[in-house]
C-alpha cells in the first residue's frame, strides 16, 4: 500500500446479502472498513478537496452498494465496494473489509469478515 492512506472504518448499513432466504428477507447490518491508497501531496499543497477523496461522498456511495442489489457472498460485496473506491480518480489501491456480525454461524463468535486488497490496473 502507498504511504498515504485515508481510512473509513465502521461504516454501517443494512443489506440483504447472504445465501439463506431469511438473510435476503430480513436483512442485517453490515460493517465496512476501507483504506484508500493515494498520494495526498497535491491536495495538501493546495488545500483543494478536488485533489483528494471526499470521504463523506464516498461513504454515501459505499452505503448505496450495501443497501442495493443483494449478493450471496460478502466476497462479492467487497469486490463491488472496491470498484467504487477505485473509481475515485486519485485512488490507486484499496483494502476493503466487510464485516457480517450477525452471520448465521451456529456457534458463539464475534465477527465474520472478508478482507480484499485491490489495485488500479
Residues labelled catalytic: 100
Long-range pairs for 16-20: beta carbons < 8 A, 24 or more residues apart: 16/70, 17/66, 17/70, 17/71, 17/72, 17/73, 17/74, 17/77, 17/100, 18/70, 18/72, 18/100, 18/103, 18/104, 19/72, 19/73, 20/104
Task: With both helix axes pointing from N to C terminus, report the angle between 55-67 and 74-86 in degrees, rounded to the nearest 10.
Answer: 150
Residue located via cell numbers 445465501: 19
Joined together, the cell numbers standing for residue 94 give 484499496
Amino acid at each position: 500500500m502507498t504511504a498515504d492512506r485515508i481510512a473509513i472504518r465502521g461504516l454501517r448499513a443494512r443489506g440483504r446479502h447472504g445465501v439463506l432466504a431469511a438473510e435476503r428477507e430480513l436483512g442485517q447490518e453490515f460493517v465496512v472498513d476501507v483504506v484508500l491508497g493515494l498520494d495526498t501531496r497535491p491536495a495538501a499543497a493546495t488545500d483543494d478537496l478536488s485533489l483528494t477523496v471526499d470521504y463523506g461522498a464516498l461513504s454515501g456511495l459505499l452505503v448505496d452498494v450495501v443497501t442495493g442489489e443483494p449478493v450471496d457472498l460478502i466476497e462479492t460485496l467487497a469486490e463491488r465496494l472496491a470498484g467504487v473506491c477505485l473509481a475515485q480518480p486519485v485512488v490507486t489501491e484499496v483494502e476493503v473489509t466487510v464485516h457480517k456480525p450477525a452471520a448465521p454461524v451456529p456457534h458463539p463468535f464475534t465477527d465474520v469478515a472478508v478482507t480484499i486488497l485491490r489495485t488500479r490496473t
